[in-house]
Structure 1
Amino acid sequence: AALAVGLKPSVKLSVMNFAHAKLAQNMPTVTFTGQDMLIRGHDAYNDSRQKPGVKPVRLTPLDREGEAHFKRTFNIDTDHVRAMFRAPVPNS
């Protein structure tokens, strides 16, 4: 898992009460950097981007090296992802 939080049973809050970028301001943390830990979706519907005045982030497609890294690290086949997004949605 990319993030784990342990709280005492008496604490009435949950992990959802803490912005992940601000955890270190509220509790001791251990951070391992320099490793790829997760993939996060980024689009107009991402919950962290739905605030007034947030500027859109311009993204570029992965190059061959980036695609190979995704396959090696996360087993994500970018050709398969593209094919899935091109495929028609089946009727329910």
Structure 2
Amino acid sequence: MDRSSDALTLAPPWIAACVIVQMLWTKNFFADFNERLKTVPFVAGDEFSVADITTFVTVDFAAGGMKMNIPTAFDALQAWYGKVSDRASSKA
């Protein structure tokens, strides 16, 4: 049995609403960053920066904590995530 769906079902309605809003925000976040990464190799432009680190952590949290992986249709975001994941510093 999936405990996350049980928890959401048993949660007060305002918590369930917050979760739904957060999931919608995350979908929009993925879409926005996918569009951005179609035009530049890294979040803030041509160089890897703290913006990439922050975005990487956010995507990891969405994938792990919220069970929301990057949709396969977001190819630019998928490619960026793979490139950043391959960096030695992301494995520390």
TM-score, length-scaled by structure 1 = 0.24
Greater C-alpha radius of gyration: 1
Structure (1/2) with the larger helix percentage: 2
Q: Which has the higher contact order (CA 8 A, sep 6+)?
A: 2
